[in-house]
Amino acid sequence: MSDTTTSVSARRRRLSPRAFAVLALAPAFALVAGMLFYPLGYSFWLSLTDSDGIEASFVGLDNYVDLLSDETVREVLVTNALFLISVPLVLVGALVTAVLMYEEVWGHRLFRILFFLPSVLSTVVIGLVFRTFFAYDGPVNDLLEAIGMEPVNWFGEGGTAMAVIILALVWSGFGYGMLLLLAAMADIDPDLYAAARLDGAGWWARTWDITVPSIRRVLVFVSVINVSYVFTSLFGFIFVMTSGGPGYSTTTLDYLIFVRFGDGSLGAGSAVAFLLFLIVLVLTWLQFRVFRDEQERS
């Protein structure tokens, strides 16, 4: 054995297991700190300045004070909250399809692939598909005209434009949730379902009384990731389908950050970004807190 190997082995023996673990993890922690904590800290510092990307002057909390009095920001917050309508729709769609796949309905293998396929597509691709289908001269209006109805300018009104985006959200998101729930259902004892059938329990009773309680943790996880998605990942949909319009009726916080940065207001945009970070953090904590309280009561 070489002297170098002997020296390393001796130092390792002198270190406690905890100290050795800390030293082993230090490079990874430094990488995470550089990739996560530094940008977060820099973004917060930028939010305290009036910056155009070239020059920056410290203004303290002025950008945050302006957020509180900005009508546009309040409108965008309400719009972003309305997109949360997609979360229960995704959960219901994922749960129903997961139960059907678990029960191996006819064609379940093919449907499993078809349902999951939208999850691997980018938001830009999905946005282009829905933009094409719901265009004024698109297939959806052609179908409406074929059954004697008037065509709809789907992207001309805030309500209909939001409905199309929510539909795109549900279509693209429930397949991933379905696979997560299906994996969780694999751990449920099949004898529970067999006993329920013998007792005369129907499909709905088995789902509500056996499946849902057994996969509650995964349901909470799917809910959390979808809430976070609504606040942090709609940029592709908005950019391709509506560009935030008409007006600000479909503008989300992540798209508003893009708009502020595009206007050269890096300080104001960073303030919106940090506000978005706090909102997602609080919503995630609240969901886990509610879930923990329910677990303790049960």
Domain boundary pick from 18, 51, 70: 70
| pLDDT of res. 39 | 83
| pLDDT of res. 14 | 64
**Encoded tokens for 247:** 């007006």
- Is residue 235 within 8 Å of residue 255, measured between CB atoms? yes
Least confident of 30-34, 128-132, 210-214, 250-254: 30-34
User: pTM for the complete prediction?
Assistant: 0.83
**64 & 148 share domain:** no
Domain boundary pick from 50, 70, 90: 70
Burial of 271 (0-12, 13-18, 19+ CB in 10 A): buried
**201 & 292 share domain:** yes
Least confident of 16-25, 59-68, 85-94, 254-263: 16-25
| pLDDT of res. 89 | 95
Give the number of domains in the chain.
Answer: 2
CATH at 249: 1.10.3720.10
Q: What percent of the chain has pLDDT over 90?
A: 45
Exposure on the CB side of residue 163, measured as CA atoms within 13 A:
10
**18 & 166 share domain:** no
What's the whole-number average pLDDT of the chain?
87
- pLDDT exceeds 70 at position 146: yes
**131 & 260 share domain:** yes
| pLDDT of res. 81 | 92
**40 & 137 share domain:** no
Identity of residue 170: V
Least confident of 9-13, 85-89, 125-129, 151-155: 9-13
**52 & 81 share domain:** no
| pLDDT of res. 297 | 65
Average pLDDT over residues 81-108: 90
Q: How far apart are CA 8 and CA 4, in angstroms?
A: 6
- pLDDT exceeds 70 at position 2: no
Band (pLDDT 50/70/90 cuts) for residue 288 is: confident
**219 & 252 share domain:** yes
Range(s) of the domain holding residue 57: 3-70
| pLDDT of res. 36 | 80
Band (pLDDT 50/70/90 cuts) for residue 294 is: low
- pLDDT exceeds 90 at position 162: yes
- pLDDT exceeds 70 at position 298: no
**234 & 99 share domain:** yes
- The Cβ of residue 218 has, within 10 Å, a number of other Cβ atoms equal to 19
Burial of 78 (0-12, 13-18, 19+ CB in 10 A): exposed
**41 & 85 share domain:** no
**83 & 183 share domain:** yes
- pLDDT exceeds 70 at position 10: no
**255 & 159 share domain:** yes
| pLDDT of res. 11 | 54
Domain boundary pick from 70, 87, 118: 70
pLDDT digits (tens, 9 = 90+) for 251-268: 999 999 999 988 888 999
**179 & 238 share domain:** yes
